[in-house]
Structure 1
Amino acid sequence: MLFLQLNYLIEIQPIRSTALIFSNGRIVCVGTKSVKDSEIAIGHFVDIISSASSLPIRMRGFKIQNVVSSFAFPGHINLPALYDTMRIAPPTWLAKHISYNPEFFPGMCLRLVDFRTVVLVFTTEKCIITGARTEEEIFIVQNKIYNSILMFCKNQ
């Protein structure tokens, strides 16, 4: 297995993002709020690296690998009841993988059929969607899951 060494870590403030710079020349930008902010931040990072280097540096192969979103439900979620219902009568959008073991992890993990996303649902009203490639995919996934999970909110 090949592990790349993290050579530098740069943070910029206007957009609040961090760049992980690896020995193979790849830059991973984390912490931005949108795709546009990510492109701007990468441009800033390339400028910073260019000014510190005597070699010509340019950006190529920009792509979004992972979009993460979080939102809150209007009340605490009854995860044991949600888990039992999803196992017995899963909705059409749900893949076979559902995991909920509060002794190891406090949230429920749901995988969707048509997407590579993973949804983490917590009793504390919070929900995290990860693994999407676009912001549009996040909105589609949220629309699919919201009403099914809303039925298990305790403080509606």
Structure 2
Amino acid sequence: MNYQEPSIEIKNVVASGDLKQQLDLETILKFSQGAAYRPQEFPGIIYRLRKPRTSVLIFNSGKIICTGAKSEKDAKKAIIKIVEEFKRNGLLILNQPKIEVQNIVATGDLSGRIDLEKTAFILKRTIYEPDQFPALIYRMEKPEVSALLFASGKIVCAGAKNEKEVKLAIIFLSENLEKEGAISHENLIPENSKLLKPQLIHA
């Protein structure tokens, strides 16, 4: 069977920005529809945006954290949108935030079953204890990400700082496991199935 590039789906992008100034959360709450602030439970405002669909955390220190984005672009767009809303409602914003991606969680499908015992010997920096957890844990050095590999061929990748790192990590695993014969493609859907087509999905 010809090599199939794995499908990759971004599940969550976490990004942060820092305005480097104090924010009055009570004032922000007055003009922020869809926002919640319960300081006895959580020290920041939780603001749920519809477009892009994300949750944004706003702290009085000026730090802003976006979670739930499906792409780097959407995560950055959400933080910028919040800052622009501050300005429109009369808040004096002294600095544009430097936005940085902190973590990307993605899934991959290698379109075949993975021999996890064999994989544990092929790859360095792995933990595989099937009696305690069904997946093999792999800590990659370059890019610096962690991956959970399941016998079904599914991969969960975390720790990437950009989408390029996600793709590099999952394709590296796919190509190396194929080369070492650690992936079986028996009893799979035929090659012309949509499930086997290479793709980078932003849901």
| Short-chain TM bin | 0.7 to 0.9
Residue aligning to 2:159: 131
Equivalent of 1:110, from 138, 162, 177? 138
**Aligned-partner SS, 1:110:** strand
2:103–2:158 Cα contact (<8 Å) kept = yes
Deviations 1:1-34 (A, max 9, x none): xxxx542212112222111223422111112222
Structure 1: state its 5+ residue gaps.
91-95
**Aligned-partner SS, 1:67:** strand
Q: Distance in 2 between matches of 1:133 and 1:127?
A: 17
RMSD: 2.4
Q: Which runs of 4+ in 1 moved over 4 A?
A: 48-52
Q: 1:103 to 1:62 in 2, by over 3 A?
A: same
- 1:19 and 2:49 matched: no
Q: TM-score, normalised by structure 2?
A: 0.59
Equivalent of 1:75, from 89, 94, 112? 112
Residue aligning to 1:145: 173
- 1:55 and 2:91 matched: yes
- 1:154 and 2:192 matched: no
Structure with bigger RCO (C-alpha 8 Å, 6+ apart)? 2
Q: TM-score, normalised by structure 1?
A: 0.75
Deviations 1:18-75 (A, max 9, x none): 11223422111112222221121112222445567x5324541211122222111112
**Larger radius of gyration between Structure 1 and Structure 2:** 2
Report the Cα offset of residue 102 of structure 1.
2.6
Q: Distance in 2 between matches of 1:35 and 1:141?
A: 17
Aligned length in residues: 142
**Paired letter, 2:66:** C
Structure 2: state its 5+ residue gaps.
1-41, 187-203
